[in-house]
Amino acid sequence: MNTKTRSIEAYRRQLVEEAHVFADREIRPFAADFDERGQLSKDLIGKMAERGYLSASFPERYGGLALDPVHYGLFTEVIGKACCNVRTLITVNTSLIGETLLRYGTEEQKNEWLPKIASGEKVGAFALSEPLVGSDAKNVQTAYRREGNKYVLNGKKKWISFGDLADFFIVIAGDRGQVTAFLVERTQGDITSTPIQGMMANRASHIAEIEFKNVEVPAENVLGPVGGGFAYIVSTALDHGRYSIAWAGVAIAQEAVNAMVAYARTRSQFGERLHQHQLIKGMIGDSITQLHAARALCRKAGELRRDRDAEAVIETSIAKYFASKAAMQLATDNVQIHGGNGISNQYPAERLFREAKVLEIIEGTSQLQQQMISDYGLQKYFVKRPNLSEERSGH
């Protein structure tokens, strides 16, 4: 590593450290309140924008901090440890929307939207899921039709994070088997968002159902190629989303470990601290092993993404699958170690437990990840061996 690379590394590490301090001071104390009230503070969004935290991975010319994938992952972890809802804001705006715009946006689209995301002037939402379509994204029901030099959109989206707060959307819509992505401003036509209540988690992520009625979108607002909405836009957005969610898993797993360690060292039962009980030691030992393994997978995925390695996509999927599963397991064990206190909202354990579950569902369920990982392994690890019986018989 040369001097310049070392100094860039040191600068990026410092940015992550500063974000950690910021998160502990400005986010963590309010996380339970956000969850309870079901909304984030606009003041906080402004403070994050001022520091470049809504655009940490964007190039500097778009107002970003130019963090490479590894440091962007570490950044996601420190924000996610403090609050899952604030981390969701970053997952949606920086990873899903920003990174996809960086890859497929025209120069005009990038110049128009990326600085506005970075400055917090515009909040975006990725409108993919629908009442009847989740993982099966190729079959979206939201429809578009071309009329001259514009497109007309009709349909309903559901479970859209930040959908109720968003100033603009990336909308995935279909027309006779073709899927296309559109950049749509809320003010562009008849767009109604309805907040979804009664969520188990991500309660302050402004999750909404959104209806588009004859919304006219100019042709220059098509993102990526017409007909390439699934193959390129959705695939790329979800790949970036999975990377973010993988680190979100590490964040919850780390929080769970911190909480169980603190509780086990202070709480006594049967005249002994909890950590002196062997079964508790076993749970803590397993938890730390899972945490370290999850972080190692995320770091590996980050390094491959940084190097633009062809294996980055599948390693990201593996990291997301493992880290979200680890987060759920550790959040469960953390509740268990906390006993009755673990199921009360007087401790963060119950919130972590609720939030961990979401990670196994969003950006491709664990079952979809298993399928992709399996397909990969069935090809990669198949070793062709000579047919021994044929060899022996001289054929």
Partner 1 sequence: MELQAKVRSYIENNLVVFEENVQFSDDDNIFERGFVNSLFAMKLLNYIEQDFGITVDNEDLDIANFSTVNNIVSLIEKKRSGVS
Does the footprint of partner 1 cover residue 363 (CB under 8 A)?
A: no
What is the size of the binding site for partner 1 (CB under 8 A)? 26
Between 113 and 162, CB nearer to partner 1:
113
Kindly tell me which of 195 and 227 has the beta carbon lying closer to partner 1: 227
- Residue of 80, 83, 65, 54 lying closest to 15 (CA atoms): 65
Reference 143, options 160, 130, 162; nearest CA is 130
Distance of alpha carbon 78 from alpha carbon 350, whole angstroms: 20
CA distance 127 to 112: 19
Q: CB nearer to partner 1: give 279 or 310.
A: 310
Cβ 108 to partner 1 shortest distance, Å: 12
Identify the bridge partners of residue 19 per DSSP, sorted by sequence position: none
Residue 371: both structure tokens together: 């399928």
Among the listed residues 4, 176, 380, 392, the single contact to partner 1 using CB under 8 A: 380
Q: Report the 3 state secondary structure along 70-119.
A: HHHHHHHHHHHHHCHHHHHHHHHHHHHHHHHHHHHCCHHHHHHHHHHHHH
Q: Which of 308, 386, 389, 391 binds partner 1 (CB under 8 A)?
A: 308
Minimum distance from CB of 245 to partner 1 (Å)? Answer: 16
CB of 141 to partner 1, least distance (A): 18
Binding-residue pattern over the window 71 to 110 for partner 1, x denoting contact by CB under 8 A = ---------------------------------x-x----
107 catalytic? Reply is: no
Residue 168, strand partner residues: 124, 185
CA-to-CA separations, 221 to 155, 169, 198, 218, 263, in angstroms, rounded = 18, 11, 34, 6, 52
Could you give the CA distance from residue 180 to residue 173 in angstroms, rounded to a whole number?
6
* Beta carbon nearer to partner 1, 78 or 238: 238
329 is a contact residue toward partner 1 (CB under 8 A): no
Give strand pairing partners of 181.
Answer: 172, 223
Decide: is 300 part of the binding site for partner 1 (CB under 8 A). no
Q: By CB under 8 A, which span of 3-11, 54-62, 224-232, 348-356 interacts with partner 1?
A: 224-232
Per-residue contact string for residues 252-291; x = within reach of partner 1 by CB under 8 A: ----------------------------------------
Of residues 235 and 258, the one with the C-beta less far from partner 1:
235
Which C-beta is closer to partner 1: that of 279 or that of 378?
378
- When asked if residue 232 is in the footprint of partner 1 (CB under 8 A), the reply is yes
* Residue 60 sits in the site that holds partner 1 (CB under 8 A): no
The region of 15-23, 67-75, 219-227, 259-267 touching partner 1 under the rule CB under 8 A is 219-227
How far apart CA 91 and CA 257 sit, in angstroms, is: 23
Catalytic residue among 311, 360, 363, 390: 363
- What is the SS3 assignment for 183? strand
Question: Does 382 interact with partner 1 (rule: CB under 8 A)?
Answer: yes
Contact call for residues 252 and 356 (beta carbons, < 8 A): yes
Token readout for 8 is: 């860039």
Residue 235 in the binding site for partner 1 (CB under 8 A): yes
Query: For 394, how many CA atoms within 13 A lie in the half-sphere containing its CB?
Result: 0
Listed residue (129, 109, 291) closest to 218, CA to CA: 109
Footprint on this chain of partner 1 (rule: CB under 8 A): 104, 106, 138, 224-225, 227-228, 230-232, 235-236, 239, 308-310, 312-314, 372, 375, 378-380, 382, 384
Residues annotated as catalytic (active site), given as ranges: 363
